[in-house]
Amino acid sequence: MTSSIVSSLQQPNPSAIIELFLLETDLELHGSNQIYRFHNGTNLINNAALKWAGDEYIRLPIEAEGFAFQKGQLPRPTISISNALGTISAILLNVNNVTPGNDLTGATVTRIRTLVKYLDADNFVNNSNPYGTPDPNAEFPREIYKIDRKATENREVIQFELAAVFDLAGVRAPQRQCTRKDFPSIGNFIV
């Protein structure tokens, strides 16, 4: 977390927290390296996409939940994205043309959070942020997950279940086996 975020949150009336999402496909899994940017809201000028750090985030109703850490468990959040305009179905169709049945499994979803006061001035009337000074580096720590599976798809919504990179089925940490040869002073140690 950047020092500007920490100091802003310690003020009596910090500005609102904005959630932004990146969806990144993988060349090997999905046939292309694409980055899609989404935000559950609009700018204050013309009800259009939101800009932060020079990147445009498409306005799209999104509900993301389950990011809180529980005792001894990694979060397994879900993200529900409106499919009213067919945006996500179009992405799924492109992926399925390359790798049938993939449904974005293995794609990376990054949750970015910042404050309204750090959004680009392009989002506001007269190109001036009335809440503060734009700062493309002021953000909470990024939360990076992989799509584990598609839970729901219909005309209204598509829901994905997310998992931490090392919480996916078949992934081990560390990815190599440690044996006694590697650590002779430990004895019979096998991971």
pLDDT tens for residues 79-100?
999 988 888 888 888 887 776 7
CA dihedral 27, 148, 69, 20 (to 10 degrees): 50
Q: Give residue 119's pLDDT.
A: 93
- What is the reported pLDDT for 168? 56
Identify whether the C-beta of residue 137 lies closer than 8 Å to the C-beta of residue 2. Answer: yes
Using the structure block, give the residue that is written with the tokens 């089925």: 169
Arithmetic mean of pLDDT over the chain: 83
Residue 184 pLDDT level (bands cut at 50, 70, 90):
low
Q: Label residues 20-34 b or e (16+ Cβ within 10 Å = b).
A: bbbbbbbeebbbeee
The one-letter amino acid code at 133 reads T
Task: Give the per-residue pLDDT at 52.
Answer: 92
| pLDDT value for 21 | 96
pLDDT in tens, 104-161: 888 999 999 999 999 999 999 899 999 889 999 999 999 999 999 999 988 899 999 9
The whole-number pLDDT of residue 140 equals 93
pTM for this prediction: 0.80
Give the number of other Cβ atoms within 10 Å of residue 172's Cβ.
Answer: 9
CA separation for the pair 11, 118 (Å, rounded) = 15
Nearest 5 degrees, angle CA 57-CA 60-CA 66? 95
Look at residue 53 and give its three-state secondary structure. coil
Between 175 and 138, the more confident residue is 138
- C-alpha 167/C-alpha 61 separation (Å) is 27
Cα–Cα distance measured from residue 17 to residue 10, given in angstroms and rounded to the nearest whole number: 14
Distance separating alpha carbons of residues 36 and 25, to the nearest angstrom: 9
